[in-house]
A and B are shown apart, each in its own frame.
Chain A
């Protein structure tokens, strides 16, 4: 039987057998559909990508208010659009390493203060202009400008000077920054002609696809860039991104074959959908996490014993089980997990312990008045349910949590980072330094736990300039312990990215950086006719 199967796989690789035939014959040989499907995918991958066709992507996270400007992009659809029409200087690959895009090479000085990016030769923008170091400079300038509304603004703080010299773009930092290439890999930093100063909305980039139709909140369609510099990707002729925010409609579109892939499959239906014969559910554990931040400077949360009591009162396993339906993993009250480079796996996992919670609660001397938790499903899907689970598990430890529901509309301006205890989510950052700098450094704009620990800040700055990996791992572990035991973050779970992919799509590989292979799926996958 094995020989027969191998022969068939060979036929597939040679392009002589379709999926339908393969599956049918494999079934006749008594091979289960799941195994046959994997075998077919392997064989098809060996055959190499097929060119042509239109890849249709159904996505959550687009609105009619979206623009083509990379700076204010915040949701999934603009992220996908940027990926298709643009390129970054560097990017983060699926293994968490820096991959070169428009910069051919990256080099740092020994003190990690000066970084040189060498521009890839003969890359053209969609308008025919050649990419220069000047374009790099202007792009970063625009995003680092205080006047900009760029999502990358916070990342680019601490730059002392930049210059473009020949084909080298140089960034000089105020303090040693070992992770600078990761900061430059921020997905907003799409290189535009003259940095997009003249017209940020032009949609002109160097990407594998060119903007053809831009109807914000409805659809975005793209055709292949014939001059794309990287021949190894960009297999289909056209890509169409359809904005389908309604979960049920998105699943129906995938099931009926109207789209080839969708992002954000609701965990509630993922199990059922996975049984459908013509598609596959792909889930990747990543860096995104659901949290309940407490303001450590506001009573009653200024008491570390009360914070610890609440941390011990969360039943993490139950939440992963019931809220994420298993599509995720438990959190450890730190904003990082093993998907991050330089993460120390030996940090002890905090568990649900009502006895310990009660002990800390008693020690905190809290007067027993209800602790108000502000929550809305805008924070994350299932936030209200998660809060109710929290309420129940805390009640078992004698802690009284009162749930106050807030409207979804305006949640991020009125509740999050305003109320002392609420629900929220973080999509994660490529490296630990960035995650901690964004929200746990005492001076961070988004310090949503009002965390202020001088020892932690000092370690953060020291780790930035440390080039010895082993020492950095140690430092990050120490910082993690500080946040875990003294911080205001309750991080019960890390959610997976759950995508739905039609069986006609080949070449899909897991990427922990984001949905749909970090938006690479339409570019790197191909269609099996």
Chain B
């Protein structure tokens, strides 16, 4: 078997093992939280009888281990189960929410990744001159401001005062692609501002590192333009660290945007997960947790593989 293929399989197997670990951890932690789904649903209006009734109905009167094993059995057959609180099919609801989250993440990535790399290249080209300093200053400022504040500021000035985009990013199935893009314009902008600096700075640093090499000097000596040197010779050799940081940020765009979702009332996974954690709806929390973990593990695996493919020494091991 080709060593790369073997590596992929190894990583996949490890990833699945990791997922089981993650699910056990999530289950244990959700169980450790005070209160259970029955109490959370009934809230202030709970009485001992109604609590007992609801616990029995939800199956919470059985031991935790039994419930976990049952859940594992279900998921191995591709069944995520039904939510404790609203009896809806979890795969259905998660699917819709995940679709929304990926939609937002996709467009945010489509804007931010090329922009970050381009700005990184630009910063290297004009390093220590005003474009470099301007780019760094602006991106570092936007990453330093909490994302909810950027969100509110954009809502106030762009949506309320100028009236360009909607302050609510509530997308739904009946909207056309254009309407959806219009709705998510502001959150995409906020997310771009948040992830830009990290990727841009990494690109800049990685390329500057390569720029010290002899072959870059050779390229300069043979008369290539400054930008071409960076683009053709420095960038490919700096791909590994850049891909790593890009993947980390993509993972963030999927799993870490709860705050932005709340501010823009975006119907994504984050809000969905938070609602169900407060209701102690363990099956839903588990499903979301496993999906998040899978995305995280998957993206990191891609980063590793790309890093290996980009490096001839790792590509052809002795």
Contacts and interface: CB of A to CB of B under 8 A. Distances in A.
A413 B34 contact: yes
A64 B275 contact: yes
Contact of A412 (B44, B152, B272): B44
A258 interface: yes
A417 B159 CA distance: 44
B271 interface: yes
B43 A74 contact: yes
Contacts of B46: 412-413
A65 B83 contact: yes
A237 to B, nearest CB: 16
Question: From DSSP, what is the main secondary structure of chain B's interface residues?
Answer: helix
A375 to B, nearest CB: 15
Contacts of B156: 252
B91 to A, nearest CB: 15
Interface residues of B, number: 46
A63 B281 CA distance: 12
B264 A258 contact: no
Contact of A217 (B34, B41, B172, B271): B271
Nearest to A67: B86
A384 interface: no
Interface string B39-69: 1111111111110011000000000000000
B85 A65 contact: yes
Interface string A247-271: 0110011011010000000000000
A154 B47 CA distance: 9
A146 B267 CA distance: 36
Contacts of A255: 160
Nearest to A252: B167
A403 interface: no
B265 interface: yes
B35 interface: yes
B158 to A, nearest CB: 10
A201 interface: yes
Contact of B166 (A63, A217, A258): A258
A151 B43 CA distance: 10
Prevailing SS type, chain A contact patch: loop
Given A67-B87, A243-B265, A412-B43, A146 B271 contact: no
Given A410-B35, A413-B35, A217 B167 contact: no
A219 B172 contact: yes
Given A63-B275, A217-B275, A253 B167 contact: yes
Contacts of B88: 216
B85 to A, nearest CB: 4
Given A153-B50, A242-B265, A248-B152, A409 B41 contact: no
A146 B48 CA distance: 11
A218 B268 CA distance: 10
A409 B278 contact: yes
Nearest to A145: B53
B33 interface: yes
Contacts of B172: 213, 215, 218-219
Interface in B12-43: 33-35, 39-43
Contacts of A258: 166-168
A219 B46 CA distance: 27
B86 A416 contact: no
A65 B35 CA distance: 16
A465 interface: no
Contacts of B267: 215, 217-218
A216 B42 CA distance: 17
A154 to B, nearest CB: 7
B45 A446 contact: yes
Nearest to A147: B53
Given A74-B42, A215-B172, A217-B272, 14 more contacts: A64-B86, A64-B276, A65-B41, A74-B44, A216-B86, A217-B267, A242-B170, A248-B152, A249-B264, A252-B159, A413-B34, A413-B46, A424-B44, A446-B44
The 4 closest A-B pairs by CB, nearest first: A65-B85, A252-B167, A413-B39, A445-B47
6 contacts: A64-B271, A146-B49, A242-B168, A242-B265, A245-B262, A246-B262
